Chains A and B, each alone.
Chain A
Amino acid sequence: MSAFRRDLMTVCALGAALVVGGFVGSNYMLGVLVLFGMTSILVLSYRTITTMGGWSFAHIAIMGIGGYSVAILSKPPFGLPVLVATVAGGLFAALFAALLSYPVLRTRQYYFFLSTFAAGEALRQCFIQFREITGGTSGIAFIERPEILPNPSSTLEFLCLVAAVLVLLGIFYASLDASDAGLKIKAVGEDEALSSSIGIDAWALRALAFILGSFGAGIAGGLFATYNGIVSPSDINAMLMFKVVAACVIGGTTRFSGPILGLLFLTLIEEIFRVVPEFVPMIWGVFVIIAILFGQWARGRLMVWRAKNA
């Protein structure tokens, strides 16, 4: 089976599992599944960014742009339908990423983490400071659920919407991955100098991955905002950023299944230690360290083993 079809299968299976789980599960389970679905959109869009070789740390802040767009656009004086506002939020996030990409993508490796981290934090501070627009620390409340749902207060219907968005975006990202541009983006991520030498416009492709990945983050942010009914700076927390990065580290980013399985693992830990939530970050952290150190050790052993059996 080709990689493209496998990714499609992963996304569709996940969407189906969410809906089935929603129908059979309890109310509590429903809430967990909605969160899982929305975070899956985040990690899948994040994975697209990582294919170009840079791990952004502004993803959650860019998600916040989507959230605030929905909050502002769905209320008067704009009064757009929530779904339209969500798509607009994705576009705004992509636009912001496009503006950010000029300075930020001139940096590589450690510099890229630092500059995206600082830019994301500054954006969060702006959400806090510009009270007139964003409502300061208390944020914007009373955001409606999408009107196209027959019964907007039903979590199950919202879950189906999240699953649908997840599958749509998943198909989009999988097609991107399999397309000519996607393959080139991966080549740039592997070796930028070599790719440039055969006439690939490395800068444009890195920007493309960053912008399209941020679009998904904006959509996810819009969904979070309309699900919670409120958007505030505390949504843009470092923990969620860490969760997304950790899912990609633990699961790996080669295929779509990696980040999803990583996220599943983190969510399971979160649910197992539900009674002591203050320990969850520590346990996540320990597993990330183990995953990184063990991966390094295992790769070393594998190379030794191959050399011996060559």
Chain B
Amino acid sequence: MQILLNCLSLTSFYLCFALGLALVFGVMRIINFAHGEFFMIGAYATYLCISTLSPQVGGPVAWAIGAIVAAAVTGLLGLVLHRTMVVPLGDKPLAIFISTLALSYVIQTIVVQIFGPVGLSIAPPMRGVVNFGGAILPASRLVVIGVAVVLAAGLWVFLMRSEAGRRIRAVAQNPRGALLQGIRTEKVGRLTLILGSSIAGICGAAMGPISQISPYMGAGTLWKAFIIIIVGGIGNIWGAVAAAAIFGVLDTLMSQFGAGRFLALTSAAVMLFVLSVKPSGLFGEKE
């Protein structure tokens, strides 16, 4: 039971982190390397909100405000990114990849200058542990699971049921066809990038209280998200969900049975194996 909960907890984190990246990648075929830094900024925004507000309004409320602020800030960054880089560089995925890589260094340096290079810890807004049939789970991890479920479900409803979501899916399937149908692809791209970045910010808000926050926290997790996207399949957000679950379970089991040191090797091996057998990923369609 404990293992099951740990699996769930890790899967939620991977899902949270990879969801925004997979959304942007799936719809616009661009990789935002600064995604990890947006995640980090979300965590720092939450840190600021909690440390200033929690004496007045209490931990959970301050955390909720922090999450909203984090989403707003990173959403704004996504808007700026779209305006300054994605639109001018339109059809050059490599140029966008490298310029967002450069942007990630700019953001990292700025954050180091403001908050210092040393990690900080956020006072957890939810204290205590929850019991599930003999297994225990810290309440703040429960928050991550909740956030991941809400984000994934919310994104599903948004994409499948709303008008804007339908437009996003149309652009993801065929940008040219969508354009011919009178969809403003640039607007859809903007919305997607804002959405994806906000998800990164909220994920940062959820993860901040669990792990230490540091200016390099995003960069350290990014490669795992890349592997998840590759294994999940090109342009398939739900493939990313499945891949997050695969790695959540796999990694938990491996650490449980004392094979934690082989984690990176196994993840890479799984990725390379999937690429060898099915280059478009487990759930991807052939381009």
Contact = CB atoms under 8 A, between A and B. Distances in A.
Contact of B98 (A125, A249, A278): A249
B113 interface: yes
B98 A292 contact: yes
A113 B31 contact: yes
Contact of A292 (B25, B93, B99): B99
A21 to B, nearest CB: 29
B109 A121 contact: no
Interface string A269-291: 00000000011011011101100
A306 interface: no
A114 interface: yes
Given A118-B223, A289-B102, A297 B88 contact: yes
Contact of A118 (B95, B230, B265): B230
A10 to B, nearest CB: 24
Contact of B94 (A55, A123, A125, A238): A55
A125 to B, nearest CB: 3
Contacts of A33: none
Nearest to B108: A281
Contact of A278 (B95, B109, B265): B109
A118 B271 contact: yes
B103 A111 contact: no
Interface in A57-109: 100, 102-104, 106-107, 109
Decide if the interface of chain A is mainly helix, strand, loop or mixed.
helix
B85 A293 contact: yes
Contacts of A285: 101-106, 109
A170 B95 CA distance: 27
A238 B252 CA distance: 27
A114 B268 contact: no
B92 interface: yes
A121 B230 contact: no
Interface in B98-124: 98-99, 101-106, 108-110, 112-113, 117
Contacts of B113: 278
A175 interface: no
B272 interface: yes
Interface string A236-253: 001000100110010000
Q: How large is the interface on A (under 10, 10 to 19, 20 to 34, 35 or more residues)?
A: 35 or more
A187 to B, nearest CB: 19
Contacts of A107: 275, 279
B268 A122 contact: yes
Contacts of B268: 118-119, 122-123
Contacts of A55: 94, 98
B264 A106 contact: no
B116 to A, nearest CB: 11
Given A114-B226, A129-B262, A288-B98, A238 B219 contact: yes
Which of A55, A107, A285, A288 has the largest number of chain B CB atoms within 10 A?
A285
A265 B112 CA distance: 25
A130 interface: yes
A4 interface: no
A168 interface: no
A117 B117 CA distance: 24
B102 A284 contact: yes
Interface string B229-271: 1100010000000000000000000000000011111011001
Given A103-B271, A129-B262, A289-B106, 8 more contacts: A111-B279, A115-B272, A118-B226, A278-B109, A278-B117, A285-B102, A293-B88, A296-B89
Q: Which 5 A-B pairs have the closest CB atoms?
A: A125-B264, A122-B268, A282-B109, A285-B102, A121-B223
Interface of A: 55, 100, 102-104, 106-107, 109-111, 113-115, 117-119, 121-123, 125-126, 129-130, 238, 242, 245-246, 249, 278-279, 281-282, 284-286, 288-289, 292-293, 296-297
